[in-house]
Structure 1
Amino acid sequence: MPAARLHLWPGDAPAEVDYALVWKPDGETFRQVEVRRAIFNLGAGVDALLAVPSLPQGVPIVRLEDAGMAVQMAEYAVFEVLRAYRDVGHYVRAQQEGRWAPLARRDPASFGVGILGAGVLAQAVAAALAPFRFPIATWSRSAHARPGVESFAGRGRLPAFLARSRVVIGLLPSTRDTRGLLDAAAFAAMPAGAHVVNLGRGDLVVDADLLAALDAGHLAHATLDVFGDEPLSPGHAFWHHPKVTITPHVSAVTDLGETVAQVAAKIEALERGEPISGIVDRARGY
């Protein structure tokens, strides 16, 4: 884009621009700068952007698609699924207690993996898990037919999805329909000894209900990379819970080079009058 003129806000940004590239802007950004063509969110999740009161109406919002995150998310998810499948937690405890305690081999066909979400990241996770022969399913707002992946859609199908999943991986955006989706009823629907891995948005999980399910022994373990409030407060019960693993929102980080290339390609397409992917449905929140 040799003809493009780049400006920083705050700084030398003019009162009007064609495109804005933003990440968690404050309320003053759009009061001081009018965006005419499109707003590019420099991340996959748009919940923070949609919450800005001064966000202009009628201007398309474009989210990042993959931008190097899919491979990272797949790495993280595969690691956690295999850790659960191979009972690594059991062997760590046995070592600490000085016990030689082998377990019988599991049949992968009996170890269902459920992915909450069906977008680019969820597809990458499903593809990465395919060689291990686990029954894989996704759950989303609407059905998505893909080879080798069972699709569940709608609230009515959530209990059945959870009941067949030994590991539930959260990859959903934060919307009014997903906040608090994993609550006491959802955890009760999961098989005894199930694992929860949340990598999408922290408000998917009701913290108190998750702790109760872990303490009751119904859930075996939870791995959490995202939280309702970040950074996680020092006094939160998750920090020192023996059945919780915490990472600080690092499961997938946008790659700068891929981000720049993707945004530039989409701006060039818009300038040619061509359609682009990744446009956010404000009503749905993603």
Structure 2
Amino acid sequence: MSAILLAMTGAGWDPAEWQARFLALAPRREVRIWPDRACNPAEVGYVCTWKPPPGLFAQFPHLKAIFSLGAGVDHLIGDPLLPAVPLVRVVDRDLTARMSEYVVLHVLLHHRRLRLYRAQQREKIWHEHAQPAASEVAVGILGLGVLGREAAELLARIGFRMAGFSRTEKSLAGIETFHGKNGLDAFLARTEILVCLLPHTPATEGILNLALLRKLKRDGALGGAYLINAGRGMLQVDADILAALEESSLAGASLDVFPTEPLPRESPLWNHPNVIITPHNAGVSDPRALAKNVLTQIERFERGLPLEHVVDRTAGY
């Protein structure tokens, strides 16, 4: 029976906790934590990972599959020594639900002007702001993968005027869809609250720049445009977001991800009154749910069934 290696770096990851979850579900399976000098590289068949060191996978001659434990795979595809084995995204119902919670929370936060009321509370000001109905507010989801589709459908049920943009043509009931380079400008022009859930690829890096943000609809029901980025940090240009806020191309932003994490203490984003910062926890990975998901995939694979959610390395997701 092939061993599973857990290789994860960065804040918030407890490999021992992940190992305990895997062993509780599969006590007969050998589950190791990298770096483990006692682990025989030839016995490793699967690696479950987040931001591994470059070249790690090359030492495992019998590797069968690599599972990315987070929402993105950009931390893997850039490895020049990445073996030609299936690279699998862990698509878990719990992670999807948590991401949708975050998106709905922050769309409603901007829609119901909570930031303004919090500022008024600090100054003990009693003043009501105009409140448009959800049906008057145009929300756009940039990226219609599993996470984007779920969030779009939830927001549509609340009553928002929903649209989504994807690289290729897609159809969603009750949601206006745009695709391709020609559709992006039209999508942005009708969007007041932009929710970015794109993957990080060479084509999407830096896409949230000043030129794009200036194309958002600023004369809609909210009287300004808002950005929510819960996708990948490398999609946004921090300086351009600040510039868009200063020139009123943006009225506010909710940012969960950043090009450099943790966000440096000297970043002016921390103190900007129109920015809400969260520490990359929009879609937190639950070790129990993800361990079960990975083990189910491995069991199916070892019975000769195909792996699900295999990454297209050319597309980058």
The TM-score with structure 2 as length reference comes to 0.85
Deviation at 1:97, TM superposition (A): 4.2
Which of residues 28, 35, 46 is equivalent to 1:10? 35
Contact 1:179 1:203 in 2 (8 A): yes
- What RMSD over aligned residues (CA atoms) do the two structures have, in Å? 1.7
Please give the secondary structure, in 1, of the residue aligned with 2:117. Answer: helix
Whether 1:38 aligns to 2:65 is yes
Residue type at the aligned position of 1:196:
L
Aligned mates of 1:79, 1:211 — CA distance in 2: 22
Q: Deviations over 1:140-171 (max 9, x none)?
A: 11122111111111122111111111111111
Whether 1:117 aligns to 2:121 is no
Contact 2:234 2:259 in 1 (8 A): yes
Query: Where do 5+ consecutive residues of structure 1 fail to align?
Result: none
Pairing 1:127-276 to 2, within 5 Å after superposition: 127-192=153-218, 193-276=224-307
Pairing 1:53-68 to 2, within 5 Å after superposition: 53-56=80-83, 58-66=84-92, 68=94
Deviation at 1:133, TM superposition (A): 0.7
Q: Which of 191-200 and 101-110 deviates more?
A: 101-110
Please give the secondary structure, in 1, of the residue aligned with 2:33. Answer: coil
Deviation at 1:35, TM superposition (A): 4.1
Q: Structure 1's 5 and 98: CA in aligned 2 closer, same or farther, altered over 3 A?
A: closer
Identity of aligned residues (%): 42
Q: Deviations over 1:67-98 (max 9, x none)?
A: 52111111111111111111222323333444
Aligned mates of 1:263, 1:55 — CA distance in 2: 20
Aligned mates of 1:7, 1:243 — CA distance in 2: 45
Residue type at the aligned position of 1:50:
I
Aligned mates of 2:255, 2:184 — CA distance in 1: 21
Deviation at 1:210, TM superposition (A): 1.1
Aligned mates of 2:29, 2:309 — CA distance in 1: 22
Please give the secondary structure, in 2, of the residue aligned with 1:136. Answer: strand
Please give the secondary structure, in 2, of the residue aligned with 1:80. Answer: helix
Residue type at the aligned position of 2:29:
A
Deviation at 1:212, TM superposition (A): 0.8
Contact 2:230 2:282 in 1 (8 A): yes
Which of residues 95, 100, 118 is equivalent to 1:69? 95
Aligned mates of 2:50, 2:118 — CA distance in 1: 40
Q: Which of 94-103 and 11-20 deviates more?
A: 94-103
Q: Which of 109-118 and 97-106 deviates more?
A: 97-106
The TM-score with structure 1 as length reference comes to 0.93
Contact 2:227 2:253 in 1 (8 A): yes
Contact 2:55 2:82 in 1 (8 A): no
Contact 2:55 2:80 in 1 (8 A): no
Pairing 1:96-111 to 2, within 5 Å after superposition: 96-111=122-137
2:21 maps to none
Aligned mates of 1:102, 1:108 — CA distance in 2: 17
Aligned mates of 1:179, 1:31 — CA distance in 2: 27
Please give the secondary structure, in 2, of the residue aligned with 1:7. Answer: strand
Contact 2:189 2:215 in 1 (8 A): yes
Query: Where do 5+ consecutive residues of structure 2 fail to align?
Result: 1-25, 219-223
Please give the secondary structure, in 1, of the residue aligned with 2:45. Answer: strand
Aligned mates of 1:5, 1:234 — CA distance in 2: 41
Please give the secondary structure, in 2, of the residue aligned with 1:65. Answer: coil
Q: How many residues align?
A: 285
Residue type at the aligned position of 1:194:
A
Q: Structure 1's 13 and 28: CA in aligned 2 closer, same or farther, altered over 3 A?
A: farther
1:24 maps to 51
Q: Deviations over 1:252-284 (max 9, x none)?
A: 111111111111111111112212321011111
Aligned mates of 2:288, 2:137 — CA distance in 1: 38
Aligned mates of 1:200, 1:278 — CA distance in 2: 18
Aligned mates of 1:75, 1:202 — CA distance in 2: 19
Aligned mates of 1:209, 1:24 — CA distance in 2: 27
